[in-house]
Structure 1
Amino acid sequence: MAGRTSLGRLIAVNLGILLAGLVIAELAFGSWLFGPGWGTMNIPRDVRRIFDVSGLYGGPKDAVYSRDRWGLRGVYEDPGAIDVLTIGGSTTDQRFIGDGQTWQDYLSQDLGGRVVVNAGIDGQSTLGHLRAFDRWLSQIPGLKPRFVLAYIGVNDAHLQGQQQWDDMASPSVWRRAGRYVANHSALVQVATTIQGTLKARKAHVVHGGTEVARGPWVAGRPPDPAQAADAALVEAYGQRVTALIARIRAAGAQAIIVTQSRSDYRVGAAGQPLGRGMAPDSVNFGSWAMQTAFNRRAMAACAEAGAVCLDLGRDLAFEDGDFYDWVHTTPAGNRRIAQWLAPRLAPVLAQ
């Protein structure tokens, strides 16, 4: 009996020492007491994932997606020396585009090595971009980009169901609690990193759930964009763009507003829209009209605020192979975006 008691005490002592060690490790290396208060935010941080993109577009099978401990994507040495910080939704984040092949990567190259860093969040609209400054970006020590480029418009035209990403937190209480622990616990961070490494190659793409639209692309009489979207929604979007520019300036940066396009229409060399032929003498311009309504309002708000306004959605002629679904661009499309942006941004950055 005495032997069993001694063994029980030894186990209890060892468990106590182990528990004390875990508590000390959590307090020392976690952020329960010190460090940024990430709260329940679901911003991906310290992640490196490998996605099989062989079914989406040509090129290497594996796409490596990584974000650093601050949730940023890209190469930089000092948060205070970033030339251009890009914000936006999934078309900015580019979850299934490998490191080195995002439009930010190509833009940095085309601008002669300027530091261009990606702060896009999958699913966000301008509602989320506004909140990101106070809930996330303001907590990154020393972050002070010269310019903040907002690549916006697609998600704002379809705001329904966006709350989870715009709030940067799950609507589920249990998931928010789990995220709170994950955001502060050093041990959970180590465990999830190991788990992510082991499971990364099992991940499969979900973005390309719909087949990319293809031509033939034909001209026709497009509808009036002003009649294609709810005027109140478009006006609300314009007000958010104005607020976003003000928030960027409050952070000490200059604002660059860039509009977006989609794969289910084309813009000709002269700027005229090209739609898909649906039937004899019938051309589908629906997506063009909707997106153009939002893009025009963004450009109007941008001009009124005196920011840098680039209407990529109107002026860049994409081609087949530039998208892998309705809105997400391939590496080829990303290179085209960078080649369009670079000569327009170069004189702005040189000021």
Structure 2
Amino acid sequence: MPKKLKIILINISFLLIGILLIELIFGGWFNNSNQLSNLGIIRDAKFQFDVSHLYDTKNPTITYSRDKFGLRGISSFNQPEKINILTVGGSTTDQRYIDDSKTWQEVLEKAYKTNNEEVYISNAGVDGQSTYGHLKSFELWFSKIEKLQPEIIIFYVGINDFYRISSDSEYDNIQQLENRGLKSHIKDKSVIYNVYRKLKGIQKAKKHEVGHHKIDFSTINYTKESVIDEKLIDLYSIKNLEAFKSRLNKLIAYSEKMGAIPIFITQPAFTYKIRNGEVFGIEEVKYLEEKYAYNGVGYYKLLNKLNEVIREVSEPVLVIDITNDEDWKAEDFYDYYHMSEVGAEKLGNKIYEKLHQIEFVK
């Protein structure tokens, strides 16, 4: 065997052995704890963050805690059997930079207690998750938490599914979901794949400005003019909406299997604002897949297309519309999508009022 070829083969062997060791040590092949970590689920941890660079607050150092099950919530901490309402969503549900005591879930729970109703609400939001990730949460996370039997599951969804045009997930096909093969299990358990997925997600979040950062809204121009590529509307309807519908149906099925009632809350953003029935959106034109143009009003229209799908798959009474409320202000957000403490308080109180309009929830 030529010497150069022998050296190459030896190096490849060491590389493969290294990959195997990394997967065995850090992957989820034999350790469910690693599997959850790879999916971005933080457990048994407490962090303190300085949020003065994001929004104005009297106490700029906030506490962010997760219990041993990976759930966030003060009164039900490490006590999943107490949970009446489980909230599921992405970063706007997680609220990484809002104090434990001031998340919209805590505001909602306090509203119940103020009215002499003992309700325990837990936060299962995961930064960056779309409805793809929520399905994984049911399969790999919630099902492993003993005594977790919420009566209601609130899904706060829409924004993280906005940017998915292509139908590229196993969850676009429910039949495929029920009969998943080796490829799906590798994705679930492989630490290397999940590091790649996280890096790709960070890059995508930065590109579409959905990561956490401060925006000075006094410098943002809003317009009534709508910019939206007609091809984008057609493509969105054909690919994204049908796939979104499939995932929502599966989330409903998973919720009902747990004995819970699924309630959906549509999401607001400050890429647009509604005043006296008129929609104003940011003037800046952005692009999906680097070729389909839209501005703030176009974003609003596409977001409401996702909301229409939510109403289609769920009972109308179980959908709470927040997207189209007119009272959102710049002070409620620190960027286009994430709320400040002021916004979280407003959202929690809104949800309480609207939940109480649902007769059986009372």
- Report if TM-score (shorter chain) is over 0.5: yes
Contact 1:82/1:115, CA 8 A, preserved across alignment: yes
Alpha-carbon RMSD across the aligned residues, in angstroms, is 3.5
The CA distance in 2 between the partners of 1:285 and 1:325, in whole Å, is 17
Conserved in 2, the CA contact under 8 Å of 1:66 and 1:99? yes
Q: Alpha-carbon deviation of 1:111?
A: 2.2
Instruction: Indicate conservation of the 8 Å contact 2:165/2:235, yes or no.
Output: no
Alignment match, 2:280:
274
1:51 to 49, 52, 57: 49
Among 251, 255, 258, the residue aligned to 2:258:
251
CA drift at 1:144: 0.6
Q: Deviations over 1:236-263 (max 9, x none)?
A: 1122112111111111100001111211
The equivalent position to 2:322 in structure 1, one of 312, 320, 323, is: 312
Task: Answer whether contact 1:87 1:151 (CA < 8 A) is retained.
Answer: yes
- Measured against aligned partners, the alpha-carbon deviations of 1:44-69 in whole angstroms (never above 9, x if no partner) come to 00111011111110112211100000
1:66 alignment counterpart: 65
Q: How far did 1:268 drift?
A: 2.7
How many angstroms does 1:119 deviate by?
0.4
Q: Secondary structure at the match of 2:162?
A: helix
| SS of equivalent to 1:41 | helix
State whether structure 2 residue 301 is matched by structure 1 residue 295: no
One-letter amino acid matched to 1:320: A
Whole-Å separation in 2 of the counterparts to 1:142 and 1:241:
24
Letter in 1 for 2:100: D
Give TM-score, length-normalised by structure 1: 0.70
Change (3 A) 1:86 1:234: same
Matches within 5 A, 1:199-210: 207-209=211-213
1:239, 1:301 within 8 Å by CA — same for their partners in 2? no
Give the equivalent residue in structure 2 for 1:105: 106
Residue in 1 that maps onto 2:23: none
TM-score (normalised: structure 2)? 0.68
1-structure distance, mates of 2:349, 2:194: 45
For structure 2, the 5+ residue unaligned runs are 1-28, 170-183, 197-209, 286-294
**Cα-to-partner distance string for 1:203-260 (whole Å, 9 max, x where unaligned):** xxx9434635455545456869993761111121122112111111111100001111
TM-superposition CA deviations, 1:268-294 (whole Å, max 9, x none): 354x42223579xxx851221222221
Partner secondary structure for residue 158 of structure 1: coil
Tell me how far apart the structure 1 counterparts of residues 86 and 212 of structure 2 sit (CA, whole Å): 26
192, 195, 201: which one pairs with 1:172? 192
What's the counterpart of residue 193 of structure 1? Answer: none
Alignment of 1:227 with 2:221, yes or no, is no
> Against the structure 1 CA distance between its residues 319 and 175, is the aligned structure 2 distance closer, same or farther, given a 3 Å change threshold?
closer
Q: Which has the larger radius of gyration?
A: 1
> How far is 1:80 from its partner?
2.3
Deviation at 1:37, TM superposition (A): 3.6
Is 1:146–2:154 an aligned residue pair? no
C-alpha separation in 1, matches of 2:305 and 2:348: 24
In structure 1, distance between residues paired with 2:42 and 2:152: 23
Q: Could you report, residue by residue, the CA deviation over 1:114-164 in whole angstroms, capped at 9, with x for unpaired residues?
A: 21110001111111111111200111110011100000011111248999x
Cα distance between partner residues in 2 of 1:143 and 1:264: 36
Residues 262 and 170 from structure 1, CA distance in 2 versus in 1: closer, same or farther, beyond 3 angstroms?
farther
Partner SS, residue 324 of structure 1: coil
CA deviation profile, 1:92-120 (whole Å, cap 9, x unmatched): 00111111111111111122252111000
Task: Specify whether residues 170 and 57 from structure 1 end up closer, same or farther in structure 2 by C-alpha distance, changes over 3 A only.
Answer: farther
Distance 1:89 1:96 in 2: 13
Match of 1:324 among 328, 334, 337: 334
Three-state SS of the structure 2 residue aligned to 1:105 is helix
Q: State the alpha-carbon separation in 1 of the partners of residues 326 and 248 from structure 2.
A: 21
Say whether the 8 Å CA contact 2:89–2:155 is kept in structure 1.
yes
